[in-house]
Structure 1
Amino acid sequence: MQEQRKVSVRVPVLARVEGEGALELDIDNGTITNLKFSIFEPPRLFEKLLEGRDFQEVPDITARICGICPVAYQMSAVHAAEMAFGVQITPWARALRRLLYCGEWIQSHALHIHLLAAPDFLGFDNALAMAKTFPHVVSRGLKLQGLGNRIMRVVGGRSVHPVNACVGGFYSAPALDEMRALQAELEAARADAYELVRWVVNLPMPDDQQDFVSVALHHPDEYPFNEGRIISDNGLDIGIGEYEQHFNEFQMPYSTALHAHLHGKPYLVGPLARVNLLREQLPAQLLELLAGSPVQFPSLNMFHSMAARALEIAYSMDEAIRLLAEYSLPDQPHVPVNTREAVGFGCTEAPRGLLWHRYAFNADGTVKNARIVPPTSQNQARMEQDLHQSLHAFGLDNSDEALKLRAEQVIRNYDPCISCATHFLRLKVNRG
């Protein structure tokens, strides 16, 4: 009888997800009999911390949930409050929020591609080692990331945990000369974003076809950031207020991080899900960058997530340039807000996928209760499913070190907050 291999993987994580994580893998007779991807994080209690807080405090508090995608948390929060209080923001504020979101997508995607994912496909231990062979690529990536941070700083007041967004619009309007200078910087770097797409889609990526359900926001007139209905490629089409009727978060006994199902099954959110569902809303000149490459969408290869991120960087660059060209100073940067007892929902597309908020407010505008469903918890069940299928396809007779590397690559495809997306697996093998 073939010996059983039990692989226990301990995961040191960075500050964005506190605690430890582990991948536990039991292999018996060439089959995975047990797979558990656990994240051990102490309770952060953001939903409870929000209770009793004034509605204008909520965006800045929720921004602290993530240092990489604070805009997503702010935007979902302000949309929920505006729905609850019946606030209609101006077209100026809507456009500026879209610009702010462009900055977050550019910086987050550029960081993931160059510092986390690309070294996997090129055989380097880390980005510093990759930079010795591909200095131009890493330099270009850091430049793009810096431009994303610059958008967030100019529009949001600072690049980490911006402070300018508020319920009703923005606290202040960015200066016209700063916005024109930012536009010129982005126009000068547009070619870099296009070159990045061509480079990424021709990287050597494993061919690992799987069957999964993609979920994303859909807006009839634009590639979505802040608004839309929730759709899937298996027929779902609902308003954001119906989320809890179709999606279910649940606790697994081996992890403090929640899992989520759509109609009882795992699903995917994030850049690959968005491009799979919404590719027809991307400009033709961006899709033409894929010509002659092995990457085509829709794709059932999770390793094509990096190509989807590159496409979204190029899209965000073009969209930011368009919005900056149309920018003008408003009469007022925000509209008045009259509070009432009500419930509001907010749902936006964080770099890592769908981010859903629900708030019940008291008549004075303080929070009665809150619920926040981040992309990482929504992808957790899909990650486990992917690990099971990918490791089987890779070959369980490979060495423990090889299995460890493939598991790291699979998990990094989801960019499950930067803490879990580092080169992180330490392997301990117990043999029967």
Structure 2
Amino acid sequence: ATQLTLESLRWAAGLNYPDFERDYEFVCLRHPDEYPFNEGRLISNRGMDIPIADFFNTFQELHVEHSNALHCVRKDNNQSYHVGPLARYTLNFDRLPDMVQAAALEAGLGKECRNPFKSLLVRLVEVLYALQEALRILRAYTEVPTESFVPVTPRAGVGHGCTEAPRGILYHRYQIDADGLIQDAKIVPPTSQNQKQIEDDLWHYVSGAADLSEERLTWECEQAVRNYDPCISCATHFLKLTVDRS
């Protein structure tokens, strides 16, 4: 699997990618000594460094007139931010094993990536890392536990959690009563957090590609959306594009 992933990365590195980079605010988990999956603090490339419990002190979900989807934005300025593979890679390149770093650099990626179309390459780098991490865990797995779960005594409280899904950070908050029953739950998926960023990308991309035919422009805009891997992009034709050249 490792060799196949390396070959796929080399093949994908030879594809043509639009010359499109943006000055994103990247947001992701940061672990003291691991590439982020399940633990860490939330950081950004613009100085943010907060515990998970401070998520809603920093971000907010908004209803917008043109969409049924909530848009999660920075609370201080209502601006979009970017979660997902580019954020993880750019802010945690130093957490990747040497072999994975070398493969990324060989594929033409620098120590950061701001081209959303190259998220394909970064995802392959992360697959390569996941394979190496799986092998490390298996080799270190010497003691079989007697139980498949950790016993928990219910008590009232509020808990916060955040993991890195492939699309980006997935935030959870649960309020539980003394019997262990959930009284309130809040989940903010990565697609909600990238929703405004996707729209911002489309605005910027179209401004530099307005001379394309409507068919070609629609196709490239669909690619721009698929860079973020939202659920809707599994549909073959999901973008209705109206072009006004007046």
Mark yes or no: TM-score above 0.5. Answer: yes
Once the two structures are superposed, residues 92-125 of structure 1 have per-residue CA deviations (whole angstroms, 9 ceiling, x without a partner) of: xxxxxxxxxxxxxxxxxxxxxxxxxxxxxxxxxx
Matching residue of 1:420: 233
394, 402, 405: which is aligned to 2:219?
405
The alpha-carbon distance between structure 1 residues 293 and 322, as it changes in their structure 2 partners (threshold 3 A), is closer
Q: Within 2, Cα distance between the matches of 1:221 and 1:235?
A: 19
Runs of 4 or more consecutive aligned structure 1 residues displaced over 3 Å after TM superposition:
290-294, 425-432
Q: Higher helix fraction: Structure 1 or Structure 2? A: 1
1:202 aligns with 2:17: no
Compared CA separation, residues 404 and 236, structure 1 to 2 (3 A): same
Kept in 2: contact 1:197–1:314 (CA 8 A)? no
CA distance in structure 1 between the aligned counterparts of 2:97 and 2:11, rounded to whole angstroms = 19
- Greater mean deviation of Cα atoms: 420-429 or 378-387: 420-429
Q: Distance in 2 between matches of 1:233 and 1:428?
A: 33
Deviation at 1:428, TM superposition (A): 6.4
CA distance in 1, matches of 2:72, 2:122: 23
Count of residues in correspondence between the two structures: 242
Structure 1 residues 428 and 322: CA distance shift in structure 2, 3 A: closer
Q: Name the counterpart of 1:352.
A: 167
CA–CA distance in 2 between the matches of 1:430 and 1:340?
A: 57
1:229 corresponds in structure 2 to 41
2:110 aligned residue: 296
Relative contact order higher in (CA < 8 Å, ≥ 6 apart): 1
Larger radius of gyration: 1
Please say if residues 222 and 239 of structure 2, whose CA atoms lie closer than 8 Å, have aligned partners that are also in contact. no
Q: Find the aligned partners of 2:138 and 2:175 in 1 and give their Cα distance.
A: 35
2:53 aligned partner:
241
Cα RMSD of the aligned pairs, angstroms, is 1.7
Aligned partner of 1:279 in structure 2 is: 93
Q: Secondary structure at the match of 1:359?
A: strand
Return the letter of the residue paired with 1:424. Answer: H
Q: Distance in 2 between matches of 1:190 and 1:209?
A: 29
Q: Is the 8 A contact 2:169 2:190 kept in 1?
A: yes
Partner of residue 144, structure 2: 329
CA contact (8 A) 1:404 1:425 kept: no
Matches within 5 A, 1:179-218: 189-218=1-30
Aligned in 2, Cα 1:399/1:284: closer, same or farther, shift over 3 Å? Answer: same
Q: Secondary structure at the match of 1:220?
A: coil
Q: Which runs of 5+ in 2 are unaligned?
A: none
Work out whether 1:311 is the aligned partner of 2:125: yes
Q: Give 1:425 deviation, angstroms.
A: 3.6
TM-score (structure 2 length as normaliser): 0.93
Give the aligned partner of residue 115 of structure 1: none
Distance 1:232 1:426, change over 3 A: closer
Matches within 5 A, 1:60-79: none
SS at the partner of 1:372? strand
User: Where in structure 1 are there 5+ consecutive unaligned residues?
Assistant: 1-188
Identity of aligned residues (%): 42
